Chains A and B, each alone.
Chain A
Amino acid sequence: MDRYLDTFGRWFLTPLLLALVSFIFYFILRKAGLRQRQATGFALITPWIVGFLIFTAYPLIYSLYLSFTEYSLFGEPRWVGLDNYIRLFTQSVEFWPSVRLTLLYAALTLPIGVTGALLMAILLNNKIKGIGIYRTIYYLPAILPEVAVALLWRWMFNSESGLLNYVLKPLFSLFGVDKPNWFGDPDYVLPAFIIMSVWGIFGTNTVIFLAGLQGIPKNLYEAAEIDGAGPIRKFWHITIPQLSPIIFLQVIMGMISALQIFTVAMFVRPTSAAGKFMNQLVYEKGFTQLHMGEASAIAWVLFILILILTLLVFRSSPAWVHYESEVKR
């Protein structure tokens, strides 16, 4: 009976506490001059704010603090200042190869993924019978659990008994090339990862592009046809500019997620000669070597990297992204 009271107490008190906090929040906002509607709105999202502060904002700030310390999960963090960062940039044998590998992976996977998905979306934009089925099939990879897919890929890429090498055997003998050892040969690891990631994000990108394609007003194409534009011109001068906001979104999201690759790499376990991705390095430094400070430092470097690249893409956007509401200068 004792333990039930304990649980019940916890389950009852916490929502009560949250309700109290939001009430207080509401009154503070009202005192600050907000109208009743706005104050209610903010008060009602208090659970989310509290959750965000406790589980996202606080760990974020704490990890920044940890990156300046030596911390092994046991005992207190020991302040070392910029030591972790300096060691990372100058002495670490694995850091720069990891940055290079991660950037290379993102740089190769993104164009292929986005371009391929765009072309596929155009194909799927036809009103032929059963098009719904094709669209569903292409979207399926997006709903499969990442870990299960990684394990399956490991099997498929097996150089002796895997499906991929079996199917591609005639191609290999045609070019006189040896069966590639996908995860064992450092040269083939990156292509293997690119193949896996393109397969994975294809569906989601395609569906989004499809939605975008269907939002392009038909009269634009008609006007172009009257002026004598062929399919290529129509594609280049109407489709692409109209889709550019969506392409922009896909590039940003794709880049952010590609640079953070982790699950696939951990379960597929390619040979260590190919290098490690940055997130893998974070995990290893943190949990295998118990250097949480160094791991946090790598994570923050990755964050700054992603931030800089994202800002660069944003910066370049006026040159190629056309919004409907824009007024031509």
Chain B
Amino acid sequence: MKKKLSQAFVLLLVFTLVLAACSSGGTGSFGGVESSGIEAKSEGNGEKTTIRLATWAGAEEAKELQAILDELNAKSDTYEIVQDSNPAEYDTRLLTQLSGESGPDLFWVSAQRAAQLSARGAMLDITDRLSSSDHIAGDLSDYYPSSLEPFKVGEKIYGLPWLQQPVMLYVNKDLFDKAGLKYPDDSWTWETFMDAARKLTVDQNGKHPGEEGFDANNIKQWGFTINGWPPVQMFIWQNGGEVISPDFSSSPIDTPEAMEAFKFYSELINSPVTPSQQTIRDRGFDAMYKKQEVAMFMGGAADSLDWDVDFNSQAFPVPAGPDGKRVTFTDILGMGINAKTKHPDAAFEALLDLTDAIHHWKIMPPRKSLAELETLKELQPKKAHSLQAIIDSMEFGIAYRYFENYPDWDNIFWTQLMDPIVNAGADPEKLVPKVKSQLDEVLRNYTRK
């Protein structure tokens, strides 16, 4: 009897010890489940619901965001937004959390992921809530249509964008003055752009490309820089082409318009007006612009390249295509509600308030009513000189044609076509036919359902 008792005691002791050791590592994940479970019980008493917001904000951004959240939380009596920022491996963490039961209620999401997640039902359908809401940020007609696309599946909408960043042409005005060039204007096309780039490329002896004695191995200043960014799609659109047809049935990258754009892109990569990929990797892509080794740079409207530099810099609209067509690429970022959230009403309210707040914080808000020069000048004084160009660019800014399996398509587009063109000097004419059939295959397989 004594032996059996001591055996039982030993067993219990061992297990408790084992679990104590294991659980101490696991409290982090358990904590999340608890808080949302416990808070749900308190919702009925009129206490504020805790809404968890997942973001990718780094240290600086998270601090600024926290200030905004404090303001919102003080004003609201329904919700209390708590920030959960994870700059590293945000996507993977978000996916795992959303597929489980302890995910955040609100989360920041890139356009590409938004398209994926909306189509798969991971984001809450807010179509009806939006139409019955009279919140200023819930008025869909105020948004630029292209900014809502990644969040829509058919007629339903699953999230709201809080930023739409058009690609701008940042210009080193000092170098332009030195070369005697006029700043970019609405008349600029690919030709004018190339011409300017050539005039802004100087070798050690002050010679330009095309001149006698120009030494391509000894360039000290380049007119432009390119490394896969800006995306070739922008140039294809400017020339009237498409990479994914509007009905998602094929990838028309072999049309003459698209081929011309690929050739222009390839020309830019291989011409002496841009540094080699090796040089860009070693010296830093935008670092070279900041150090005045590159005179023109295509960057997002929110970049600080027009004020955080020690020369005169300004953002202009990107040059138009050969036929004068004006298009620029826009990067869209937004926010969605977890389809499995336990507090959809509070989360929806928080979504609207926070989206509006971010519209007043970051550049550019995807709303026509906020695209007023004077309003923006107050919000972004440092970029005052570039703001008109940015506002103009919003009119012709579009994004990729995202769909449910866009990453599959993008993977092939990049690894089989663009990476060889950019990094291995491959000839687009030879690659495009081969890759087109692979891209069509992706579209055929996945958009059928």
Contact = CB atoms under 8 A, between A and B. Distances in A.
Interface in A152-166: 158-161
Contacts of B441: 91
B283 to A, nearest CB: 8
A181 interface: yes
B34 A7 contact: yes
A14 interface: yes
Contacts, number: 103
Contacts of A325: none
B132 to A, nearest CB: 26
B282 to A, nearest CB: 4
A2 B39 CA distance: 11
Chain A residues touching B, majority SS:
helix
A19 B15 contact: yes
B255 to A, nearest CB: 22
Interface in A266-320: 271-273, 284, 287-291
A44 B161 CA distance: 56
A73 interface: yes
Contacts of B414: 272
Given A15-B16, A19-B11, A272-B419, A158 B282 contact: yes
B412 interface: yes
A2 B41 CA distance: 11
Contact of B282 (A73, A160, A291): A160
Interface stretch (B113-121, B142-150, B365-373): B113-121
Contacts of B415: 93-94, 272-273
B67 interface: no
Contacts of A2: 38, 41
B38 A273 contact: no
A287 B116 contact: no
Contacts of A10: 30
A161 B277 CA distance: 15
Nearest to A158: B282
Interface string B110-128: 0000001100111000000
Contacts of A272: 414-415, 419
B416 A93 contact: yes
Contacts of A44: 11, 14
B411 A289 contact: yes
A215 interface: no
B424 A273 contact: yes
Interface string B397-409: 0000000010110
A184 interface: yes
Contact of A14 (B8, B19, B99, B282): B19
A284 B20 CA distance: 35
Given A272-B415, A287-B95, A15 B423 contact: no
Contact of A273 (B92, B405, B411, B423): B423
A96 interface: no
B11 A73 contact: no
A298 to B, nearest CB: 14
Given A159-B282, A273-B419, A284-B411, A22 B11 contact: yes
Interface string A16-32: 10110011000000000
Given A15-B18, A18-B15, A44-B11, A93 B121 contact: no
A73 B93 CA distance: 13
B95 A73 contact: yes
Contact of B99 (A74, A93, A94): A74
A185 to B, nearest CB: 9
B121 A74 contact: yes
Contacts of B99: 73-74
A296 to B, nearest CB: 15
A187 B446 CA distance: 34
A43 B4 CA distance: 14
Nearest to B435: A93
Contact of A7 (B30, B95, B281): B30
Nearest to B420: A273
A175 interface: no
B278 interface: yes
Given A3-B38, A271-B419, A40 B408 contact: no
A15 B15 contact: yes
B304 interface: no
B277 A184 contact: yes
Nearest to B424: A273
A11 B34 CA distance: 13
Contacts of A15: 12, 15-16, 18-19
B278 A159 contact: yes
Interface of B: 7-8, 11-12, 14-16, 18-20, 23, 30, 34, 37-38, 41, 91-92, 95-96, 98-99, 116-117, 120-122, 277-278, 281-283, 405, 407-408, 411-412, 414-416, 419-420, 423-424, 438, 441
10 contacts: A3-B38, A47-B18, A74-B122, A91-B441, A184-B423, A273-B415, A287-B95, A288-B91, A290-B407, A291-B408
Listed from nearest, the 5 A-B pairs whose CB atoms lie closest are A160-B282, A15-B15, A74-B120, A73-B99, A289-B407
Given A2-B38, A273-B423, A289-B405, 4 more contacts: A11-B19, A47-B15, A74-B117, A184-B278
